[in-house]
Chain A
């Protein structure tokens, strides 16, 4: 069964850090560059994230994500560099194309923002099991039902994909053409939705009953199979990160 989770199982101190600390790190990596709008700070944040990803031995797994992000960002750079209304200072000219400094700087800011966010999130996503993340949030007081919904999506979507392929087979078996041009595929797509949705509803009802008889709505204080993950330096790291955010705020207010 394929899971749609991106989690990569490796041995590293990054994997050992608890999910809550990673969430605080994401807050740090997003907030500080916004509060302190300097290229240096942004570069440092991206740099820290990349180093951490390297330590977690998952740097290679980030390549497809970063390539996609770069593809989007390049169009931003080109469009802003060429057409931003505030463009005045000509940077260089290539035939009929003129690239302006204002647009380019603005695009660079956006690029760095996106990169800080993406790289920080990737640390969480690639080194934390979704179930572990949700479990730690439930311990912190999130409703177990919402927690269940979030985690089950990771497993139930692949199950639905399998249902889609069975239903497509059933359509083809009854003489419906599903291969070929876009129009043919589109025509086959609509009747597909009925059984997929219906099947999902039936499964949801059956699953809800199965959860009920396993005490899902029990009022008793919940216990956990695994002990809460604690990393020796969690408190120190969290304190430093929060301090950094606070420091950035103070700097911003004073200057």
Chain B
């Protein structure tokens, strides 16, 4: 769905934030991990057309994105930012979620339909008339997710969706990602919670100092101990425990652990 060729970027005269990135994205749900400052957010901003590359090319669904504005791209790529307070513009939950669909010239009735569907997915369908700012922070984050889902783009990018979520909130996000995947959408997420990555993403990309350090099926990436160490990424807790016990292979979930633990014993 997305092809990235020789992509490089720097802010004005500063040192390069991204250098020579080559990536291709298919439908697999993808986690982007790495330290802050590794270039993750810059990379998704480039995909979304919010920044323009210094060199290289990004092709989204066969189209080079250089000529399109970010607003035009929003029919294809949705991006949920980290801080909800930066991205709430309307006075009611329903209006807020309809804002995006109406901007991309969706019919009003269709926009409303999509908005309600998206709100149902995040569990806010009973709060249509509430002022978004009266929601709790974790609900606001879910609202922002719904606002982007309602635009029904083929590609959806989340920036740190699990921050400030308790275990119920995380469970909701897990369900949302699964549902989007079932609908055939490409879900891409910048995230720091490694156990969440291990359980929910098919593919993992490790960024380090503006380069792709590792890329592949999540299990494969979490078995590359040297690379993870270099990127200062701690493997999932469950993987660490399995390693300590000498369970072969790379364990990603509690269920896998339990199954393997018995077979090894």
A residues contacting B by CB (< 8 A) are 163, 166-167, 169-179, 191, 194-195, 198-199, 202
Q: Do A175 and B75 touch (CB < 8 A)?
A: yes
Contact flags (1/0) for B98-114 with A, using CB distance below 8 Å?
01100110000000000
| Of the residues A171, A176, A198, contact of B133 by C-beta under 8 Å | A198
Q: A179-B69, A191-B89 are in contact. Are A174 and B50 (CB under 8 A)?
A: no
Q: Do A175 and B71 touch (CB < 8 A)?
A: yes
B147 within 8 A of A: yes
Q: Bound state CA distance, A167 and B88, in angstroms?
A: 9
Q: Bound state CA distance, A32 and B102, in angstroms?
A: 64
Q: List B contacts of A176 (CB < 8 A).
A: 71, 99, 103
Q: A177-B69, A198-B85 are in contact. Are A169 and B100 (CB under 8 A)?
A: no
B residues contacting A by CB (< 8 A) are 45, 48, 50, 69-71, 74-75, 78-79, 81, 83, 85-89, 99-100, 103-104, 133, 147-148, 151
Shortest Cβ distance from B75 into A: residue: A175
Shortest Cβ distance from B78 into A: residue: A173
Q: 27 A–B contact pairs at CB < 8 A?
A: A169-B81, A171-B89, A172-B50, A172-B70, A172-B71, A173-B48, A173-B70, A173-B78, A173-B79, A173-B81, A173-B87, A174-B74, A174-B87, A174-B99, A174-B103, A174-B148, A174-B151, A175-B71, A175-B75, A175-B104, A176-B71, A177-B71, A195-B86, A195-B87, A198-B133, A199-B85, A202-B85
Other than the known A169-B45, A169-B81, A174-B87, what 11 A-B pairs have Cβ atoms closer than 8 Å? A169-B70, A170-B81, A171-B89, A172-B50, A172-B70, A174-B99, A174-B103, A179-B71, A195-B86, A195-B88, A198-B133
Q: List B contacts of A191 (CB < 8 A).
A: 89
| Of the residues A175, A177, A195, contact of B100 by C-beta under 8 Å | A175
| Of the residues A172, A179, A199, contact of B86 by C-beta under 8 Å | A199
| Of the residues B50, B83, B85, B88, contact of A173 by C-beta under 8 Å | B50
Shortest Cβ distance from A199 into B: residue: B85
* Least Cβ–Cβ distance between B73 and chain A, in angstroms: 9
| Of the residues B74, B78, B89, contact of A194 by C-beta under 8 Å | B89
Most chain-B Cβ atoms within 10 A of its Cβ — which of A173, A176, A177? A173
Shortest Cβ distance from B51 into A: residue: A169
Q: Do A166 and B104 touch (CB < 8 A)?
A: no
Interface pairs A-B: 7 shortest CB-CB: A175-B103, A175-B74, A170-B87, A172-B70, A174-B100, A175-B104, A191-B89
Q: List A contacts of B89 (CB < 8 A).
A: 171, 191, 194-195
Q: Bound state CA distance, A249 and B78, in angstroms?
A: 70
Q: Bound state CA distance, A199 and B88, in angstroms?
A: 11
Q: Do B103 and A166 touch (CB < 8 A)?
A: no
Q: List A contacts of B133 (CB < 8 A).
A: 198
Q: List B contacts of A178 (CB < 8 A).
A: 71
Q: Bound state CA distance, A175 and B75, in angstroms?
A: 7
Shortest Cβ distance from B105 into A: residue: A175
